[in-house]
């Protein structure tokens, strides 16, 4: 830039500063639209659990999506997810997941919820916190946190 005339450099700076807010605003709008879309997808996913339809639940994940049900090992890929979720819900007669708080920013959605489930005839109200990482409208990683003792103690009553 040393060899460019000062007025040329000034013109470039003015031009750049004129367009920079537009670029930032456009990116901000795009990120807000992505966050809104991801929020809708995750709300639908949470609601879909009440159907206990394994294929439908797995369809929300990318082909190589991963589910970290934190007390267990991570599960990756559609076939593994189908087996895991089918086994997990095998003894459930119903479930309804209540969203307490949901925050979406770009490709991350965080959901605080209470999973109200009937397992082997026993009612379990399990507070959970899930973090979803999204890509192109699919879950690429879901990390779910809860107190396993709350779940197991309710089963033993």
Domains of the chain are 6-156 (3.10.450.50)
Q: Which pLDDT value is given to residue 71?
A: 77
Mean pLDDT computed over 95-102: 97
What global pTM score does this model have? Answer: 0.80
**Catalytic annotation on 115?**
yes
CA dist 63 to 76, 105, 131, 133, 150, Å? 9, 23, 18, 14, 32
Which of the following is catalytic: 55, 107, 144, 147?
144
**Catalytic annotation on 106?**
no
Asked if residue 67 has pLDDT above 50, the reply is yes
H-helix or E-strand containing 145? strand 138-146
């Amino acid at each position: 830039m040393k060899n460019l005339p000062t007025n040329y450099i000034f013109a470039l700076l003015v031009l750049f500063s004129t367009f920079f807010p537009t670029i930032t605003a456009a990116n901000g709008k795009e990120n807000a639209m992505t966050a809104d879309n991801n929020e809708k997808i995750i709300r639908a996913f949470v609601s879909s659990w009440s159907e206990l339809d394994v294929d439908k639940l797995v369809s929300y994940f990318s082909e190589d999506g991963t589910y970290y049900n934190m007390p267990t090992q991570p599960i990756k890929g559609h076939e593994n997810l189908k087996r895991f979720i089918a086994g997990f819900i095998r003894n459930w007669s119903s479930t309804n997941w209540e969203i307490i708080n949901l925050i979406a920013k770009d490709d991350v959605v965080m959901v605080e919820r209470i999973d109200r489930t009937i397992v082997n005839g026993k009612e379990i109200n399990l507070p959970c916190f899930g973090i979803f990482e999204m890509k192109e409208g699919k879950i690429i990683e879901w990390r779910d946190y809860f107190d396993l003792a709350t779940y197991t103690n309710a089963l033993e009553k």
